[in-house]
Amino acid sequence: MYILSIETSCDDTSVAILEDNKVLSCIIKNDSKQLNPFGGIVPEIVARYHEENIIKALDLALQESNISLNQIDKVAYTNQPGLPGSLFVGEIFAKTMAYALDVECVPINHIHGHILSPFINSVPKYPFMSLIASGKTTSIFLVKSANEIIELTKTRDDAIGEIFDKVGKALGYDYPAGPKLDKYFDISKATITPSFPPVKNDFSFSGIKNKFLSIINSSKMKNEEIDTITIGSSFLKYSIDLIIKKLKYYKDEYSVDCVCIGGGVANNNYFKQEIKKLFSDSFVPESKYSTDNAAMIGFAYYEKNK
């Protein structure tokens, strides 16, 4: 079975083609550099980028997979969550393709794609705990099967990737700021140590965002030199440690010793180091599947319907 999958939930335009659970091609087009003047996502602009890029991505995916359109058996697309305008572009394109090819068109939850992404091209190991940490969400799930996914906790406000970008911007880093925070991270410089909230509470990142923005703005107002390494390292360590504490709580609560990490924060080196200390079995998607991509949408469709 050949699956055409489409992902347009935020600023990445992605088209993939799978043969069952095997990825034949996955094209990702992103115009994030053009968003630098705005310091982040502008919904109307990224929706327009999707319109410009989606056919190009489809053409490249077909070329790379050596598959023709008339061989496609199913179309899967991201329907939630995400930016409404971006999702709409992907949905209309997917339904148009499915209608033209006379095949079924199936909506897939973007988060479920991230949850299953560590197992792309392989077989999931159920049950497992899943952390999705990205620019749009920060949640922990207990995953008993592809169709039995239980949310244990989520963020009440900002997502971790979102505050990485906002604090990173204040430190002078381009969007997306996560890779720069990771690059310049020095644990010996992480000397700013706020207290942690009760572990049973849902995630909340707005308070720590505001605390570090206040530190940065205070230095600017006093015309003091901003110690980007100390502030950035302290901010990153606190944010990651907050997640690790929460994971440990649920690991003990449900006696699950396998964890899967999805979302862009999975690329962070300090985070990967701490995960290995906590869990005996951990799975992280390949780097090319750790950010938004259509391969995970096609793979999620396969796992839910095999």
257 labelled binding-site residue: no
74 labelled binding-site residue: no
Residue where the block lists tokens 């990205």:
134
**242-254 residue pLDDT tens:** 999 999 999 999 9
Distance of CA 289 to the CA centre of its chain: 9
- Whether residue 39 has pLDDT greater than 80: no
244 labelled binding-site residue: no
232 labelled binding-site residue: no
For the chain, what percent of residues have pLDDT higher than 90? 85
Single pTM value for the model: 0.85
CATH topology of domain 128-283: Nucleotidyltransferase; domain 5 (3.30.420)
CATH topology of domain 2-120+288-305: Nucleotidyltransferase; domain 5 (3.30.420)
Please state the domain extents for the chain.
2-120+288-305, 128-283
HSE-CB of 225 using CA atoms within 13 angstroms:
3
C-beta atoms surrounding 150 within 10 Å? 12
Rounded (5°) CA angle 252-132-241: 60
Q: Do 128-283 and 2-120+288-305 fall under one CATH topology? A: yes
Alpha-carbon distance values, 148 to 128, 145, 151, 174 (Å)? 11, 5, 10, 38
Cα–Cα distance, 75 to 282 (Å, whole number): 31
165 labelled binding-site residue: yes
39 labelled binding-site residue: no
133 labelled binding-site residue: yes
Cα–Cα distance, 227 to 285 (Å, whole number): 33
If you count DSSP H runs as helices and E runs as strands, how many of each does the chain have, helices first? 9, 10
157 labelled binding-site residue: no
**174-189 residue pLDDT tens:** 988 999 999 999 999 9
